[in-house]
């Protein structure tokens, strides 16, 4: 069975065509600058790369081009081979607790949450509509970043603020990266052949979040009402004292939106190092002795370590810690820096085992109190697996 896994942005459309159940990636690609000058696309297939610059007026044109290329390159013999399309959708509010089949009325319900994810949700919906238009007979499934976290209890998802903020405006912790954390939990549970694991899943990429999972249910996660909360990230501050915002507004004359934009785009590793949001650049500068880069790395590692320790307490002792995403999968130095900061939990890294990138491996010593794994995340596969399950019902 071939499933398309899709992530549509406001001017982009990323896809992966996956064969199931073998999980083989048949083709993948990216349509960029949709609706803007200089639009182009790249498709990878069979070790080859197709790169074309063409006008992509809107998402429907991009989808039509994708279909054209799939047929012209015989990636699929006919469109009937594509049995389902799974779409990444950012926000399902408190309403959507699972992935589901999409139709016009469900899209209408999802659009109610556009104000909670203004950059992503309208674009995600545009992507779904484009596929519905071009491939009207293929079922579409929505897979949300927020649904996995819907098992959090009131105690964890409410903020200690006037209750009306929640009841009137839906202000609560939603959490993000749910598809990645769900994939990590599924992978480690299958690998260890247990469904009662207490997992601390650390998704550390450009964005980052940590998730405490007990037997497949999320107990708590670090991102909040928006992805700005929690650990320090590439360009996001993570948790700060909210009183800083009006103070900076007064000092700089910036609007609230501008200050929040600084917290989203100019903070984190970038803000502290003054060099880059990319952990590789910061690491390189730190190795050369750049003081701000060293400070940025230390702060980054410490904030992650603090949350791991907190979640170990919340879970009353975790069974396993997992690192994933760009930094978690690839940076052995950052993994080491984090683990050195959770020694009080009896966690120990094995430097030889940790000397690799981008694979599923154990990196802790045999006597580490909690085993630590690295698992490459695969949100595209998770989306395809949900799609297969829902269309096979
Ligand atoms: P996104 O949140 O945009 O999906 P990714 O999960 O791709 O981000 O993570 C991007 C981060 O991963 C960047 O900070 C990048 O520096 C880091 N990264 C990627 N490869 C390596 C590597 N080999 N060593 C260290 N960091 C890496």
pLDDT for residue 352 is more than 90: yes
Q: Which residue's alpha carbon is at the smallest distance from atom 7 of ligand 1? A: 326
pLDDT per residue over 213-243, tens digit each? 999 999 999 999 999 999 999 999 999 999 9
- CA atoms of 205 and 209, how far apart (whole Å): 9
Local confidence band at 299 (pLDDT 50, 70, 90 cut-offs): very high
Atom of ligand 1 nearest to the CA of 204: 6
Atom of ligand 1 nearest to the CA of 280: 16
Whether 104 sits among the annotated catalytic residues: the reply is no
Atom of ligand 1 nearest to the CA of 281: 16
Instruction: Quote the ligand 1 centre to 329 CA distance (angstroms).
Output: 8
Local confidence band at 190 (pLDDT 50, 70, 90 cut-offs): very high
Tokens of 4: 């398309």
> Over pLDDT 70: what percentage of the chain?
100
Instruction: Quote the ligand 1 centre to 76 CA distance (angstroms).
Output: 32
Mean pLDDT of 332-354: 98
Mean pLDDT of 21-46: 96
- CA atoms of 336 and 246, how far apart (whole Å): 37
Mean pLDDT for all residues in the chain? 97
What are the sequence ranges of the domains in the chain?
A: 2-144, 194-379
Neighbouring residues of 78: CB distance < 8 A, sequence distance ≥ 6: 71
Out of 270, 330, 335, 338, give the residue to mutate to test ligand 1, the one with the largest number of ligand atoms within 8 Å of its CB.
330
What is the pLDDT, as a whole number, of residue 119?
87
What is the pLDDT, as a whole number, of residue 38?
94
Mean pLDDT of 115-127: 93
Instruction: Judge residue 300's burial from the number of C-beta atoms within 10 Å of its C-beta, 0-12 exposed, 13-18 middle, 19 or more buried.
Output: buried
Domains 2-144 and 194-379 share a fold: yes
Instruction: Quote the ligand 1 centre to 301 CA distance (angstroms).
Output: 15
Local confidence band at 393 (pLDDT 50, 70, 90 cut-offs): confident
Q: Which residue's alpha carbon is at the smallest distance from atom 1 of ligand 1? A: 206
| CATH for 194-379, options being 3.40.50.300, 3.90.550.10, 3.30.420.40, 1.10.3720.10 | 3.30.420.40
- CA atoms of 333 and 349, how far apart (whole Å): 11
3-class state of residue 375 by DSSP: coil
Instruction: Quote the ligand 1 centre to 320 CA distance (angstroms).
Output: 23
Is the bond preceding residue 119 a cis peptide, omega within 30 degrees? no
**Is residue 297 within 8 Å of residue 283, measured between CB atoms?**
yes
Instruction: Judge residue 217's burial from the number of C-beta atoms within 10 Å of its C-beta, 0-12 exposed, 13-18 middle, 19 or more buried.
Output: middle
Atom of ligand 1 nearest to the CA of 277: 14
Q: Which residue's alpha carbon is at the smallest distance from atom 2 of ligand 1? A: 206
Closest CA to 384 of 44, 27, 75, 85: 85
> Over pLDDT 90: what percentage of the chain?
99
Out of 280, 297, 355, give the residue to mutate to test ligand 1, the one with the largest number of ligand atoms within 8 Å of its CB.
280
Encode burial over 195-209: b for 16+ CB neighbours within 10 A, e otherwise: eebbbbbbbbbbbbb
Q: Which residue's alpha carbon is at the smallest distance from atom 13 of ligand 1? A: 278
State which fold the 2-144 domain adopts: Nucleotidyltransferase; domain 5 (3.30.420)
Alpha-helix runs per DSSP H in the chain? 59-72, 104-111, 121-134, 154-157, 163-169, 178-192, 244-252, 256-265, 268-273, 279-287, 291-314, 325-330, 332-340, 379-391
pLDDT for residue 207 is more than 90: yes
Mean pLDDT of 352-367: 98
Given 58, 145, 241, 319, the catalytic residue:
145
pLDDT for residue 128 is more than 90: yes
Instruction: Quote the ligand 1 centre to 331 CA distance (angstroms).
Output: 8
**Is residue 229 within 8 Å of residue 236, measured between CB atoms?**
no
Tokens of 379: 């949100």
Q: What is the DSSP letter of 91?
A: -
Q: Which residue's alpha carbon is at the smallest distance from atom 22 of ligand 1? A: 330
End-to-end CA distance of the chain: 14
What is the pLDDT, as a whole number, of residue 308?
98
Q: Which residue's alpha carbon is at the smallest distance from atom 21 of ligand 1? A: 330
Q: Which residues have C-beta atoms less than 6 Å from ligand 1?
A: 205-207, 234, 278-280, 325-327, 330-331, 357
């Amino acid at each position: 069975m071939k499933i398309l896994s899709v992530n549509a942005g406001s001017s982009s459309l990323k896809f992966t065509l996956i064969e199931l159940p073998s999980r083989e990636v048949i083709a993948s690609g990216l349509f960029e600058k949709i609706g803007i000058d200089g639009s182009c696309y790249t498709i990878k297939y069979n070790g080859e790369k197709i790169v074309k610059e063409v006008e992509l007026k809107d998402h429907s044109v991009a989808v039509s081009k994708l279909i054209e290329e799939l047929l012209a390159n015989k990636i699929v013999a006919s469109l009937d081979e594509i049995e389902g399309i799974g779409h990444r959708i950012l926000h399902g509010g408190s309403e959507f607790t699972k992935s589901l089949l999409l139709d016009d009325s469900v899209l209408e319900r999802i659009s109610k949450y556009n104000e909670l994810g203004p950059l992503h949700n309208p674009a995600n919906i545009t992507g779904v509509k484009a596929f519905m238009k071009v491939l009207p007979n293929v079922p579409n499934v929505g897979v949300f970043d927020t649904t996995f976290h819907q098992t959090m209890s009131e105690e964890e998802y409410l903020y200690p603020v006037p209750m009306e903020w929640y009841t009137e405006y839906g202000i609560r912790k939603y959490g993000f990266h749910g598809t990645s954390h769900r994939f990590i939990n599924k992978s480690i549970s299958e690998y260890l052949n247990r469904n009662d694991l207490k997992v601390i899943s650390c998704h550390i990429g450009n964005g980052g979040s940590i998730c405490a999972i007990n037997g497949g249910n999320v107990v708590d996660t670090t991102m909040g009402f928006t992805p700005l909360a929690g650990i320090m990230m590439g360009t996001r501050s993570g948790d700060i004292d909210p009183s800083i915002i009006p103070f900076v507004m007064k000092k700089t004359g910036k609007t609230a939106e501008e200050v929040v934009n600084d917290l989203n785009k100019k903070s984190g590793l970038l803000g502290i190092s003054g060099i880059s949001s990319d952990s590789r650049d910061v690491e390189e500068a730190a190795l050369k002795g750049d003081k701000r880069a060293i400070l940025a790395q230390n702060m980054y590692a410490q904030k992650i370590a603090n949350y791991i320790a907190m979640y170990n307490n919340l879970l009353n002792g975790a069974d396993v810690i997992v690192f994933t995403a760009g930094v978690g999968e690839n940076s052995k130095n950052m993994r080491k820096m984090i683990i050195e900061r959770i020694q009080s939990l009896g966690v120990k890294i094995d430097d030889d085992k940790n000397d690799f990138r981008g694979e599923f491996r154990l990196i802790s010593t045999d006597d580490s109190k909690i085993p630590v794994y690295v698992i490459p995340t695969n949100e595209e596969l998770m989306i395809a697996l949900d799609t297969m399950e829902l269309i096979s019902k």
